Structure 1
């Protein structure tokens, strides 16, 4: 294989009773994102620009849990997270605790390009956003139009627990990766998941680009995305073997999903949940969108 490859996902752990119309809606969004990425790649846009462009589309559509569709904390607010990594250059930017930023992935890009740091959070991240002049929105923009608002209200009578749900909106291509999320539904305020943690939810290097979804706490403990690259480098596994290995050997009791691309234009997806919203395409003409 060779040339470019792109993979996107909207989260792992799908409700088996998800209505057919919502399944179709998810497939249409994933397909639209792939089409946007493919068009940009064919126009020779740099990979880092393409991955940001695709994730911005996922953040703007409220269907998946990122940006406008972010899940709510226990207090009914949003605390968004995002990260981006340019693998060949080992550069990255990450954020946590965003409450007003319309497109967190673009702010993560600015952390990487316009700051001396790799990770900003909460009030510091918000101050950086204002200084950079990124587009901001009020709380109502993120949750009043989505089904997650009613889902949050129902969960107020339940005890806090870790569950797998649709939670990420990432993309990976040509050893570049980005992840954006609203985090765990009904999470404690201040909780940080795997998505902005380089080596856990997001990682890219000269070998591959990886983005994860699922139980953030389990993904953090297993450094899941870095492990994909590590077993390729130190065990000599190919991309598909590496994804399969870490899903089966590194998660213990955890549940997660992975999308990944390699420097050779390979693409791989793996998960141990009942499903994962995902799509992938290669320069050779292969394209696939799936849920189960």
Structure 2
């Protein structure tokens, strides 16, 4: 048994021809966020603290679809959502429809710790943020030129797009997918040397999504789930992840079928989630790590107490 941490920055049809100027900033952000998490867990911070810290780092990075880089709704606004969960107690907090909160994941933790509820959304969540004195910022902070262009393209194509990065310039750069490309939800899972587990996920949702749409990220058991066996954070097409109850099914296969973390995570991604819709990062109470995906790629990183470290985008690899 030992500590372990894994994080993701989205899964999807990420072309292998992704130019260095687009790939490298994301890889650098993954490495930096991983280092933040490793330093925190080595310093004795709780897994709950670690996952919040890491997701805050990713939310502040404009190249991921969360926080600063959140994509836009059909109305040209941002509606951010996040969720955090403690494995030992199953305590959790979730938020949706945020428009001014700088770090949605921290508000989700406050919902868990400061209210009798699990999930707050929209005006109520914004009011709670003001009451708690969390950092807020003008909505324009989240609206980047890149995401304005993505929304324009999605509206011209009359579709809801699950890609958040630069559009493909050539059809052959990725397999046909109705224009769907990279997915940018961010998430982190961690376990300490005592087997304590936690997970956190944050996202801006889908390009050109209907105002008021809620995805898998804040849904306990779908995009985010943790218990005493494992912690899971998923990324991909939210509707598919909700229907497949991705997070809970990984834990259930371990609990009721006796599968290992890697076996359970692989089964859920390959057999339960529709092809080319999902990926996840997960850790077990014994320090195992799994990072499977059924898309072309997934921005991901992990580190374990025995010295293993990985930062990757393509190929179905896991740590350990």
TM over 0.5: yes
Distance 1:78 1:187 in 2: 10
Instruction: Write the distance in 1 (CA, Å) between the matches of 2:97 and 2:292.
Output: 28
CA-to-aligned-CA distance 1:44-80 (integer Å, 9 cap, x gap):
0111111101100001111100000000001111000
**CA displacement, residues 254-277 of structure 1 (integer Å, 9 cap, x when unaligned):** 610010000001111000000000
Pick aligned residue for 1:171 from 165, 185, 188: 188
Gaps of 5+ in 2: 163-179, 192-196, 315-320
RMSD: 1.2
Distance 2:44 2:185 in 1: 27
Question: Pairwise mapping of residues 178-189 of structure 1 onto structure 2 (< 5 A)?
Answer: 178-189=200-211
Matches within 5 A, 1:216-255: 216-253=238-275, 255=277
Question: Which residue does 1:127 correspond to in 2?
Answer: 127
Shift of 1:157: 1.1
Deviating more after overlay: 10-19 vs 154-163: 154-163
| Alpha-carbon displacement from aligned partner over 1:149-179 (angstroms, at most 9, x marks no partner) | 2211222212123535322111001120000
* 8 Å CA contact retained: 1:218, 1:254: no
* Aligned counterpart, 2:303: 281
Contact 1:162 1:215 in 2 (8 A): no
Q: Decide which moves more: 164-173 or 232-241.
A: 164-173
* Cross-structure match for 1:47: 47
Partner secondary structure for residue 292 of structure 2: strand
- For 2:32, the equivalent position in structure 1 comes to 32
Aligned to 2:83: 83
The structural deviation recorded for 1:217 is: 0.3
Note the C-alpha offset of 1:148. 1.8
C-alpha distance in structure 2 between counterparts of 1:162 and 1:75, whole Å:
14
CA 1:77–1:260 in 2, change beyond 3 Å: closer, same or farther?
A: same
Displacement of 1:18 in angstroms is: 2.4
Q: Is the 8 A contact 1:167 1:184 kept in 2?
A: no
In structure 2, the residue matched to 1:193 is 215
Find the aligned partners of 1:205 and 1:117 in 2 and give their Cα distance. Answer: 19
User: In 1, are the aligned partners of 2:232 and 2:280 still within 8 Å (CA)?
Assistant: yes
Please give the residue correspondences for 1:141-160 in structure 2 after superposition, counting only pairs within 5 Å: 141-144=141-144, 146-160=145-159
Q: Distance in 2 between the 1:48 and 1:202 partners?
A: 13
Give unmatched runs, 5+ long, in structure 1. Answer: none
CA displacement at 1:3 relative to structure 2: 1.2
Q: Distance in 2 between matches of 1:287 and 1:240?
A: 17
Corresponding residue for residue 265 of structure 1: 287
Question: What is residue 3 of structure 1 aligned with on the other side?
Answer: 2
Aligned 8 A contact 2:161 2:208 in 1: no
Question: What is the distance in 2 between the residues matched to 1:14 and 1:81?
Answer: 23
Question: Which segment drifts farther, 67-76 or 154-163?
Answer: 154-163
Shift of 1:253: 4.8
Residue-pair matches, total: 290
Q: Greater shift after overlay, 159-168 or 276-285? A: 159-168
SS in structure 2 opposite 1:270?
coil
User: Aligned-pair distance for 1:104?
Assistant: 0.2
SS of the counterpart of 1:26? helix
Partners of 1:131 and 1:37 lie apart in 2 by 29
- TM-superposition CA deviations, 1:217-258 (whole Å, max 9, x none): 000001000000000011100011011110111114561001
Q: Name the CA distance, whole Å, in 2 between partners of 1:20 and 1:167.
A: 18
